[in-house]
Structure 1
Amino acid sequence: MARASRKEAEQHRKDIVEAASRLFRQKGLGGVSVPELMAAAGMTHGGFYGHFASKDALAAEAFGAAFRQMAAWTAQVTGEGGAAGRAAFVERYLSPEHRDHPEAGCAAAGLLDFPRDTDNEAVRAAYVAGVEAMLGDVARMNGDDADARRTALARLATLVGSLMLARATKGTPLSDAFLDAGKASLLADAPKGPHSV
């Protein structure tokens, strides 16, 4: 069998990282095997170690990719920012669609239980860096808040907590109630008026 060119190898690595990013958010780090990851990327599991030293090495890259995807989604949803951008973000984040599709959703929520499966410092560092970036995004939505970081910490905790509780209670009335309560709490101080969302 012919070896892949450097360009093909780079694309294969990218495909593996993208598949892992989705599967880790959907099933957790421990819920996905190397053969399953490779099959999702359209490859056989034999080639895994040609790209990564370990599953944890892949996880660190996949976590980074998941958080970058979240940052792009946040920028798209919030648009030009302000109260309307924040309201749009909260509405989309705490939606049934986001609850029902963790594989394409928030990395902070979807990867939250990783410490159960690994104590690898590179994985933890990738998660913490992603959460810090999300905190920055949430803080920017707060406008001129004098205590932007503390407000961002509280808002991110409410977002992720509401989403995770809604996922854990999916299929019951409690699930939608968690989404609605999170939205109400986060949007309680949003300006009201003809142009607000």
Structure 2
Amino acid sequence: MGKAERTRQFIIETAAPIFNEKGIAGTTIDDILAATGMAKGGLYGHFESKDEIARVMVDYLLGKLNDKVTAVVNKEKTAVKKIFAFIDVYKDPIDSYINGGCPILNFGVEADDNNPMLKQKLKIQIEEGQKTLTEIINKGIADGEISPKIDAEDYALKAFASLEGGMLVSRVTGSSKYMNSLVRMLKNELKEYQLK
């Protein structure tokens, strides 16, 4: 990686938490300059506009979330443990492994009415998350680990929506107890369908 690429990566890694915490509209160029210690000309030598910076930040944060989910899920051998690992990525919304919490939630609220490109990107992310959960459950059914009585798509939707909603409730109230309850309920529900 050359110097220009290293500098660009430094800007991304430094500014991403700011965008995740303050949102796209709430993050200013001055915030980025203060965090990176760069001059405006240096910043714009790597990015054409704040819009480009925002697009890159969203991609970076969603990629970081995807990498985390993939890593923890792939460590597990059984479908139930894979689903539990997926759920556990979200279990501590106050001290999230990504500063500022879940980027799907944070950017989703902001993009809902005023950023069609970002809204589409997040739509894909949400659909992929549910698809991942559905595929794991279906594999568990095929392997005789999970009862075919479970509706994989319904459970995946419930789990995904509950985790995002739990993130919101916990961050607004400043307490992880709500997420802890949701995590327990989601795991207990899946255990009811576990065959082995």
Q: Normalised by the size of structure 2, how large is the TM-score? A: 0.76
- The runs of 5 or more residues in structure 1 that have no matched partner are 1-5
- Following superposition, the deviation at residue 39 of structure 1 comes to 3.2
> Does residue 35 of structure 2 align to residue 35 of structure 1?
no
Asked if the contact 1:56/1:123 (under 8 Å) is kept, the reply is no
- The runs of 5 or more residues in structure 2 that have no matched partner are 142-147
Query: Which runs of 4 or more aligned residues in structure 1 lie more than 4 Å from their structure 2 counterparts after TM superposition?
Result: none
**1:189 match: secondary structure:** helix
Asked if the contact 2:79/2:136 (under 8 Å) is kept, the reply is yes
Match for residue 170 of structure 2 among 166, 169, 179: 166
Asked if the contact 2:166/2:178 (under 8 Å) is kept, the reply is yes
- Following superposition, the deviation at residue 42 of structure 1 comes to 4.2
Query: For residue 182 of structure 1, what is the amino acid of its counterpart?
Result: L
Asked if the contact 2:134/2:156 (under 8 Å) is kept, the reply is yes
**Corresponding residue of 1:156:** 160
Query: For residue 102 of structure 2, what is the amino acid of its counterpart?
Result: C
**1:165 match: secondary structure:** helix
Provide the rounded CA distance (Å) in 2 between the counterparts of 1:123 and 1:51: 21
- Following superposition, the deviation at residue 66 of structure 1 comes to 0.9
> Does residue 177 of structure 2 align to residue 177 of structure 1?
yes
Query: For residue 164 of structure 1, what is the amino acid of its counterpart?
Result: L
Asked if the contact 1:24/1:110 (under 8 Å) is kept, the reply is no
Distance 1:53 1:149, change over 3 A: farther
Match for residue 117 of structure 2 among 110, 116, 122: 122
CA-atom RMSD in angstroms: 2.8
- Following superposition, the deviation at residue 169 of structure 1 comes to 0.2
**Corresponding residue of 2:39:** 44
- Following superposition, the deviation at residue 166 of structure 1 comes to 0.4
State the identity %: 25
Q: Normalised by the size of structure 1, how large is the TM-score? A: 0.75
- Following superposition, the deviation at residue 187 of structure 1 comes to 1.1
Deviations, residues 70-118 of structure 1 (Å, cap 9, x unaligned): 11111222223511222233234122xx3234526432123233237x8
**Corresponding residue of 1:107:** 103
**Corresponding residue of 1:69:** 64
Asked if the contact 2:69/2:89 (under 8 Å) is kept, the reply is no
Mapping of residues 80-95 of structure 1, within 5 Å: 80=76, 81-95=78-92
**Corresponding residue of 2:144:** none
Asked if the contact 2:94/2:176 (under 8 Å) is kept, the reply is no
